[in-house]
Amino acid sequence: MERQVTASSAQASLVDEVAQLWAEFFTGREVGPEDDFFALGGNSMTGIKIIDRVAEDYGVQLSVRDFYLAQTPSRVAELIEQGRSAT
């Protein structure tokens, strides 16, 4: 699948990491930086797991509401960076 150029303000490497993390929970799918969480088949069960993993891997507790409104790996990466810089 072609990688799209992301307009994210987050570091490209973080965006890629987030996309790969998501892919673990969407078994059998490749996840790109602008892919929509819900279009991939995501729901609260997936969201709970992803938010837990982000807390483990990055030490950032994403707000539930912000996560589901962010919807793409590149915007979630922005949230993680905001969370890191806030501490």
Residues of this chain that bind another protein (CB under 8 A)? 38, 41-45, 47-48, 51, 64-65, 68-69, 71
DSSP-assigned letters across all residues of the chain: -PPPPP--SS-HHHHHHHHHHHHHHSTT----TT--TTTTT--HHHHHHHHHHHHHHHS----HHHHHHH-SHHHHHHHHHHHHHH-
CB of 27 to another protein, least distance (A): 12
Q: Which is nearer to another protein, 3 or 48 (CB)?
A: 48
Give the nearer residue to another protein in terms of CB position, either 17 or 68. 68
Nearer Cβ to another protein (42/73): 42
